[in-house]
Amino acid sequence: MVNDAARDGSADILERFAATRPWILNLTLSRNFGQHAATIAGILHSSGDWVVTLDEDLQHPPNQIENMLRHATTKQADVVYARPASAEVHGKAWRDGSSRSFKRLMEWLTGNPTLRLVNSFRLMRGDIARATASVCSHNTYFDIALFWFTQRIRAITMDLRDERFAATGTSSYNFKTLVNHAQKMLFSSQLRFLTFGLWIGVGLFAFSILSGLYFTLVRLIAPEAIEVEGWTSLFVVLTMSAGLLAAMLGLCLQYLATLVLKAHGRPTFFTIDRSSDQNLQDWYAQQDEVA
């Protein structure tokens, strides 16, 4: 249980829980560092073969954890996200709509279709979860870093509803927090429009060369076709300059993006052992036979 410096007496309640339940480990942060930091702290102190993250307000039903684990072992997945069965998770059209729009925008900018599955209720293979948490810095978006270690991502549909937001209309995420949220996601991703800008520059440069050859041939074969002197050379020079600048800027941005991802801790490789999944599959098969 991660207590992010709550001021409502949560620390005393958690201590009472830990006193009677030795399997509970309480972590008290020195201040509120945010949801992602609290999640990372909890994961780094975990030791299980599988790790589940969920909120304490029962928006995420704990009774679905077994189904998520069964789904992970059956599909040989490393990460299983909870997917809301209904589009109205928060009970407010504008809140749910803005959340979906934000995910679609991030998906388009990054070219990562898995982003639509991202949810704070997730089941992860323990080694991958702890490796991901260990490379996360202050500005690293945890789920983006998670995708660096595996592409075996699945989702399971279930009923999810934010009763607290539906009842009070308030959320721990204000506009400033959401902007910071988006910034972390963008800076942790390799944006595809950077490559797009590079190819625009290359295309403009190639077009300027072809245009120069064309105008040269026109000048030699039919000079009277060029009514205004000088505009062809000006056009070629401007197009070539714009292409070179765009290409150089694209290369610089690509290089900078590579340095940023390296600073965020993106791994070159990671090894994993999934052989124990068969034991869980056999156990589930036995339970199904008994039932």
Residues 230, 115 share a domain: no
Please tell me the least confidently modeled range out of 6-10, 58-62, 77-81, 108-112: 108-112
Q: Of 187, 215, 237, at which residue does a domain stop? A: 187
Residue 248 has pLDDT above 80, yes or no: yes
151: domain range? 33-187
Residues 47, 117 share a domain: yes
Instruction: Quick: pLDDT tens for 172-229.
Output: 666 677 777 777 877 777 766 677 778 888 898 899 999 989 888 888 888 777 777 7
Does some domain include residue 110?
Answer: yes
Mean pLDDT computed over 42-57? 90
Tokens (6 digits) for 78: 């490393």
Residues 202, 178 share a domain: no
Residues 136, 52 share a domain: yes
Helix-helix angle 65-75:277-290, to 10 degrees: 120
Number of domains in the chain: 2
Q: Of 160, 187, 214, at which residue does a domain stop? A: 187
Please tell me the least confidently modeled range out of 66-70, 94-98, 146-150: 94-98
Residues 244, 137 share a domain: no
Q: What is the DSSP string of the chain?
A: -EE-S-SSSHHHHHHHHHHH-TT---EE-SS---HHHHHHHHHHT--SSEEEE--TTSSS-GGGHHHHHHHHHHHT-SEEEEEESSS-SSS-HHHHHHHHHHHHHHHHHHT-GGGGG--SSEEEEHHHHHHHHHH--TT--HHHHHHHH---EEEEEE----HHHHHH---S--HHHHHHHHHHHHHTS--HHHHHHHHHHHHHHHHHHHHHHHHHHHHHH-GGG--STTHHHHHHHHHHHHHHHHHHHHHHHHHHHHHHHHHHT--S------TTHHHHHHHHHHHHHH-
pLDDT for res 171: 60
> What is the share, in percent, of the chain residues with pLDDT greater than 90?
28
- State how far Cα 140 lies from the chain centre: 9
Residues 197, 176 share a domain: no
pTM of the model: 0.77
Average pLDDT over the chain reads: 84
Q: Distance between CA 67 and CA 50 in Å, rounded?
A: 13
Mean pLDDT computed over 39-68? 90
Residues 66, 151 share a domain: yes
pLDDT band at 85 (very low <50, low <70, confident <90, very high): confident
**CA-based end-to-end distance of the chain:** 33
pLDDT for res 224: 76
